[in-house]
Amino acid sequence: MGRSSVILAIVFLIGFCLSAISMATQEDKTTIGIDLGTSSSCVGVYTNDHVEIIPNEQGNRCTPSWVAFTDSDRLIGEPAKNQASLNANRTIFHVKKLIGRKFEDQEVQTLMKVVPYKIVNKDGNPYIQVENQYGETEVFSPGEITAMILTKMKETAEAFLGRRVTEAVVSVPSYFSNEQRQATKDACFIAGLTNVSLIREPMAPYFEHGLHEEEDDGRNILVIDLVDGKCDVTILFVESGTFEYLATARLGGMELNNDLFMGVMKKAMKDSGLKKHQINEIFLVGASTEVQQLVRDYFNGKVELKTSVNPDVTVATGAAILGDYLTKGAGMRPMC
């Protein structure tokens, strides 16, 4: 072989390696979207120009955020929830209400009174004390239980994609404190999700509808989330991928009626300091046609209403779309 053909071969080899490396990085760069919910969680991935919500082993799109210990096993998701009545004090749920909180917090004290599993005070933090699958008493932080649920979601995505996943966009409620957000990120890390961006839940409906160029000018958006008995109204200013929270009003733990709903929406509007005509877009998740009409009337029919087709998976869908933007380096700053 002559010198030039050796050089050519080397150049070819380098080129081949480089393209293999770039393919590998492309491959590795799937960012999944996880709706980490209080009652149940969903995972989605943006692929072939749409979001695929990935069903779990039971074929369901949402997995109960439940963990249980039996005499032989640790169960996560449906198997945990299904055996709850027979194994109440070893079945753990609603840990999202504990994560990142102090033992003395009202939310923790309230939860302790209603759940059958044991919550103990360890260095001022709530821990879950449970008899594990080996018959030993063990304490878990809420973050460790959350990590088990996240691991399940990650594995569901990995089985679907046929490869390892380390990057994710994970949802948190808009009211989560820095401690709650950090504890959620730590749980992700334990689950092997080492590169995580958090998305506040009210931003998900916005992403679910995709981005449009005109939004670069800056828009005020109103998000109404009524899924699962929630009533959260959030007003955001969106500009070139940055988000500013102008107001958020919520009502929890009651059966909701029209007057209460209108009260929450009016409070959010008042707190935002905006006039009705300054709202550019309204996103509704889980709103009945009756509520949609109330909103339309309040804004004199002048603002476009965007409703979610599948409210149950809106958060996972929005998170997966944001994940895709982040993978492509679209310069999003979701927590701003």
Ligand X SMILES: *[C@@H]1O[C@H](CO)[C@@H](O)[C@H](O)[C@H]1NC(C)=O
35 flagged as catalytic:
yes
Stretch near ligand X under the rule CB under 6 A, chosen from 97-105, 174-182, 295-303, 326-334:
326-334
Tell me the C-alpha distance between 169 and 119, whole Å. Answer: 29
Closest approach of Cβ 327 to ligand X, in Å?
A: 5
Catalytic position from the list 144, 208, 225, 324: 225
Instruction: Give the C-alpha separation, 102 to 179, whole Å.
Output: 10
What span, in angstroms and rounded, lies between the C-alpha atoms of 35 and 94?
14
Helix extents (H) in 29-141:
78-82, 106-114
As measured in angstroms, the least distance from the Cβ of 329 to ligand X is 6
- The tokens of 319 are what? 């998170």
Helix (H, G, I), strand (E, B) or coil at 107: helix
Residue 89 carries which side chain, given as an amino acid letter?
N
Given the residues 186, 201, 281, 324, the one annotated as active site: 201
- Out of 19, 58, 89, 288, which residue is the one contacting ligand X (CB under 6 A)? 89
Chain positions 218 to 257 lying near ligand X, rule: CB under 6 A, are none
Contact 330, 241 (CB under 8 A): yes
- Quick note: the x/- pattern for ligand X over 165-204, rule CB under 6 A, is --x---------------------------x---------
Min dist. Cβ of residue 104 to ligand X (A): 23
The answer to the question of residue 329 lying near ligand X (CB under 6 A) is yes
- Whether 57 is a known active-site residue: answer no
Asked if 58 interacts with ligand X (CB under 6 A), we say no
Q: Is 201 a catalytic residue?
A: yes
Binding of residue 31 to ligand X (CB under 6 A): yes
Q: Looking at 88-201, list the stretches that DSSP marks H as alpha helix, in order from N- to C-terminal side.
A: 106-114, 142-161, 178-190
Contact 321, 41 (CB under 8 A): no
Tell me which residues touch ligand X (CB under 6 A): 31, 89, 167, 195, 326-327, 329
Active site members: 35, 96, 201, 225
